[in-house]
Amino acid sequence: MDPRPTVVSAPMQLQVADDIRMKIQRGDLKPGDSLPTLGELMEQWSCSMNTARGGIALLKAQGLITAGRGRAPIVRIPPPRVIRSSERHQLEKDQARLPEPDRGAVGEAETNHYMPLHDQEFSSEYDQVEAGDEISAALQIAPTDAVLRRSYDARHRRTGQYLSTSVSYIPLGLISSNPSLLDARNEPWPGGTIHQLSTVGIEIASVIDEVTARMPTTVETQMWNLPDGVPLIFCRRISINTHGHPVEISDALYPADRTELRFVTPLQPWT
Amino acid sequence: MDPRPTVVSAPMQLQVADDIRMKIQRGDLKPGDSLPTLGELMEQWSCSMNTARGGIALLKAQGLITAGRGRAPIVRIPPPRVIRSSERHQLEKDQARLPEPDRGAVGEAETNHYMPLHDQEFSSEYDQVEAGDEISAALQIAPTDAVLRRSYDARHRRTGQYLSTSVSYIPLGLISSNPSLLDARNEPWPGGTIHQLSTVGIEIASVIDEVTARMPTTVETQMWNLPDGVPLIFCRRISINTHGHPVEISDALYPADRTELRFVTPLQPWT
DNA sequence: GAGTGGTCTAGACCACTGT
DNA sequence: CAGTGGTCTAGACCACTCC
């Protein structure tokens, strides 16, 4: 019944961390405020510097504070959230039938990232590879079948902060009849993926988004310059054609501290 | 250009962690395999025990391994994922108009958790509170208005693992005309929240899901017995009535290692 | 009981931030 | 330059697991 295995007091690291966390939650410490230094914590808790450090490390792992050499740690300032709404899917499909000048407003950036183009700077890269086990299963093709792989990185235009990376896969057989779809120099494509697929006779009937989250690896942390304790939201988008077959999948990663995914589900009215 | 600030070699903790991570990614170490002991790492890298420990701690924070006293750490075995699909919303609405015996198949558990009732055990708790700043803003009511607050915990029936906690808020004024809606003893309510609201003349026209993720606090980690390095998926569901007003919100937390949220977006066909 | 990881101490050197 | 946190060492005690 007692959650504690024995009747020992909580580790001192935990006490240090909990004390500071309560101060943050109560509002005694506000975002941007600097925390007590390790020296002060040593004295306050009569513990060694490494123990105080352990408490700070806990709070970092929970994403509550940011720390760096030579500067006292500060209470994390939550960055503004980018909202990526599923209503983009329908919007993009509507625009895909417009003539070119009107289509220009929507590009692949919006397809993958649900946000206006002008706020983000993004780079793309195309290549052609074998599907492999995981992708082929999702696209219902053979693992040795070739796919067009398109990789995108998006960062905030002003701050340079990373907003997303995504990788899209399309069976090469579906689109090889239109060679201009295979060339990264045509990015950003006016009208996005839904229009691209329409040029080879494909209509997207529905989109499935599969969402989960995980912690970044060491490489992702330093590549994206992520603060500690920030998870990545993983979203696999599967585009289904009018025959019920998947024709494109897109794996996207979003830093959770600056991303909110929004999904709108209209329901059939009662008669 | 060089991501490294100076030309020092990477910290030894990182080298230790990266070496093991590569072995996991290459498949040399498979889920369930035990890692080298701290003693072995000390010898292999000619470092102190605390340095080896630092590398292990990094991998724990990234969710790659699980460790515990007295046992060598092992490569994390991913738990089976529970898929919670947005198609539940329409299903629940369809069933809400059926007579009682047929409605029994769907309960609040499914409304909040998108999964069959029989797999999970859940407990609920009702009370009436002031909305407060955040909830009142989302429900477009005054902060001092009373709301019915319903808290749910769900855990897997066999393993006892926590699957979700959620808290639902409904303006009391909307439902006080039906007193049986205010009593937790009527849980699980056949037909779920959509039917409950229908008894006071409310029809849900659409549902908005807002999804993000964060790391658990120390309290959540021990309350739910979560492994290290597992984020929580946060999902706020907002139910909108036929007049476009929010009538219920539900804040749910799901451990990311055993949860996948799936959202299906049908698109209007081209003519 | 032997071996393991978790916590803690005391002390060292280094990198970075401020003034 | 002084002060700070980041990394590392050597050694101690304890709780837990497995044999």
What are the tens digits of pLDDT across the range A101-121? Answer: 667 655 544 545 455 556 778
The whole-angstrom separation of Cα B141 and Cα B161 is: 36
Cβ–Cβ gap A222/B3 under 8 Å: yes
Cβ–Cβ gap A213/B233 under 8 Å: yes
pLDDT tens digits, one per residue of A15-64: 999 999 999 999 999 999 999 999 999 989 999 999 999 999 999 999 99
Which amino acid is present at B24?
Answer: I
Number of Cβ pairs < 8 A linking chain A and chain B: 152
Put simply, whether B22 touches A (Cβ < 8 Å) is: no
The whole-angstrom separation of Cα A42 and Cα A44 is: 6
The whole-angstrom separation of Cα A214 and Cα A21 is: 23
pLDDT tens digits, one per residue of A180-189: 999 988 887 8
Whether A122 and A155 have beta carbons less than 8 Å apart is answered as: yes
- Whether A200 has a pLDDT exceeding 60, the answer reads yes
DSSP sequence for B236-269:
EEEEEETTS-EEEEEEEEEEGGGEEEEEEEE-PP
Residue B70 (CA) to nucleotide C3 (C1'), in angstroms, measures 8
Residue A187 CB: number of other CB atoms within 10 A?
16
Any bridge partners for residue B266, and if so which?
A206
**Partner residue facing B58 (CB), from A86, A206, A218:** A218
pLDDT cut 70: percent of chain A above it: 90
The whole-angstrom separation of Cα B235 and Cα B108 is: 16
Interval A90-98 mean pLDDT: 84
Whether B123 and B108 have beta carbons less than 8 Å apart is answered as: no
Q: For residue B109, what pLDDT is reported?
A: 47
Nearest residue (CA) to C1' of C5: B69
Q: Is the Cβ atom of A170 within 7 Å of strand C at any atom?
A: no
Q: For residue A6, what pLDDT is reported?
A: 40
Mean pLDDT of chain A: 88
Q: For residue B4, what pLDDT is reported?
A: 37
Residue B120 has phi, psi (to 5 degrees) of -130, 155
Chain A residue closest to B209 (CA)?
Answer: A263
Put simply, whether A30 touches B (Cβ < 8 Å) is: no
Chain A residue closest to B255 (CA)?
Answer: A213
Chain A residue closest to B81 (CA)?
Answer: A212
- Which of strand C's nucleotides are less than 7 A from any protein C-beta? 3-12, 14-18
Q: pLDDT category, B114, cuts 50, 70, 90?
A: low
Whether B159 and B148 have beta carbons less than 8 Å apart is answered as: no
Cβ–Cβ gap B21/A61 under 8 Å: no
Running DSSP on this structure, what letter comes out for residue B108?
A: H
pLDDT tens digits, one per residue of B134-155: 999 999 999 999 999 999 998 8
Q: Is the Cβ atom of B37 within 7 Å of strand C at any atom?
A: yes
Is this prediction's pTM over 0.85? yes
Q: For residue A115, what pLDDT is reported?
A: 55
The whole-angstrom separation of Cα A223 and Cα B1 is: 12
Higher confidence at residue A223 or residue A249?
A249
Q: Lowest-confidence range among B96-110, B131-145, B190-204?
A: B96-110
- Which of strand D's nucleotides are less than 7 A from any protein C-beta? 3-12, 14-18
- For residue B3, what are its two tokens? 């991501």
The whole-angstrom separation of Cα A235 and Cα A119 is: 21
Residue A78 (CA) to nucleotide C1 (C1'), in angstroms, measures 52
Q: For residue A154, what pLDDT is reported?
A: 87
Put simply, whether A25 touches B (Cβ < 8 Å) is: no
Instruction: Determine if the peptide bond prior to A73 is cis (ω within 30°).
Output: no
Interval A150-173 mean pLDDT: 89
B109: helix, strand or coil = helix
